[in-house]
Amino acid sequence: MMRIALFIEFEGKKVAVIGGGYVGTTRAKKFSEMGAQVTVFSLNFSEELLKLGEEGKVKLVRKEASELNDELKEFDLVVVAIGDLALNSKFKELSKKYRFLLNLANNAEETEVVVPFEGGKDGIRFAVTTEGKSGVVARKVREIFQKVLENDKTLFVYLNAMEHLKKFMKQKEIPVNARMRIYSILGSSSELMEIAERGEVEEAKKFVEKIAEEKAKDFRGVEDGF
């Protein structure tokens, strides 16, 4: 199965979680915190889910998973977090019929949507998955990536400079083809990295502005020559 990695805005999206145990609770919390409208279907709910329901953060519906059908057509994403794998084929058929995305939390190989382990800092985000091979390893990789972000201040100076560069070039109305070439030049600039290593954010911004203006003139000159 071929999957593509995406970050999707879930504010206001409708999410159904089938199962009120540990995994169902974890997924319900995650999507609720991201602003989704979460409904949990189960005969039994964890204490945490009951509390979230009382606080109005999730909606709890007592219903057997095997009885769910048309109720799911209003949802954008359905999470199946129950132990009965025999019902997975049913939910896969319903996802095709009603065109909702399906996360089989009980079967990583057959799921359409993978919910990864996430991390990040100050504008850099990442997601890690082994697609069901080992959650322990995925967590370890997340820890390694997170440690890099926590300890490498150079990356964030570099990020601020490149973000500034993007806004600067759009403001100056530098053509797209020239912008792409300037990104490439500055992406391999040892001088910019030296500035970033010193932690000089404003100096880095001035440097990328200077290079952008110089190269934009050069590229315009070449184009005019043709």
pLDDT, tens only, 64-93 = 999 999 999 999 999 999 999 999 999 999
Which residues, in sequence order, are bridge partners of residue 128?
117
Q: What pLDDT digit, counting tens, does each position of 141-196 carry?
A: 999 999 999 999 999 999 999 999 999 999 999 999 999 999 999 999 999 999 99
Reported confidence tier of residue 2, pLDDT bands at 50, 70, 90: confident
Strands (E), 34-142: 37-42, 59-62, 77-80, 101-104, 117-121, 124-128
Tell me the average pLDDT across 111-124. Answer: 96
Q: Is the pLDDT of residue 45 over 50?
A: yes
Return the bridge partners of 125, or none.
120
Q: At 113, is the secondary structure helix, strand, or coil? A: coil
* Domains of the chain by residue range: 14-115, 116-151, 154-219
DSSP state of 66: G
The pTM assigned to this predicted structure is: 0.85
pLDDT at 195: 97
Task: Indicate whether 220 pLDDT > 70.
Answer: no
Q: Which fold has domain 14-115?
A: Rossmann fold (3.40.50)
Task: Tell me the three state secondary structure of residue 72.
Answer: helix
Nearest to 83 by CA among 59, 66, 68: 66
Order of strands, sheet of 101-104, starting from the edge strand that comes earlier in the sequence: 59-62, 37-42, 14-18, 77-80, 101-104
Q: Which residues contact 115 (CB under 8 A, 6 or more apart)?
A: 27, 30, 79, 103, 105
Question: How high is the pLDDT of residue 97?
Answer: 97
Q: Give the chain's mean pLDDT.
A: 94
Please count the other Cβ atoms lying within 10 Å of the Cβ belonging to residue 200.
15
Q: Hey, CA dihedral for 57, 62, 64, 70, is it positive or negative?
A: negative
Instruction: Note whether 154 and 196 are within 8 A (CB).
Output: yes
Per residue, what are the HEC states of 197-221?
Answer: HCCCHHHHHHHHHHHHHHHHHHHHH
Contact 15, 36 (CB under 8 A): yes
| Amino acid in position 167 | K
Beta bridge partners of 77: 15, 101
Residue 201 has pLDDT above 50, yes or no: yes
Is the pLDDT reported for residue 223 higher than 90?
A: no
Find the mean pLDDT for residues 2-29: 96
Q: What is the pLDDT of residue 219?
A: 77
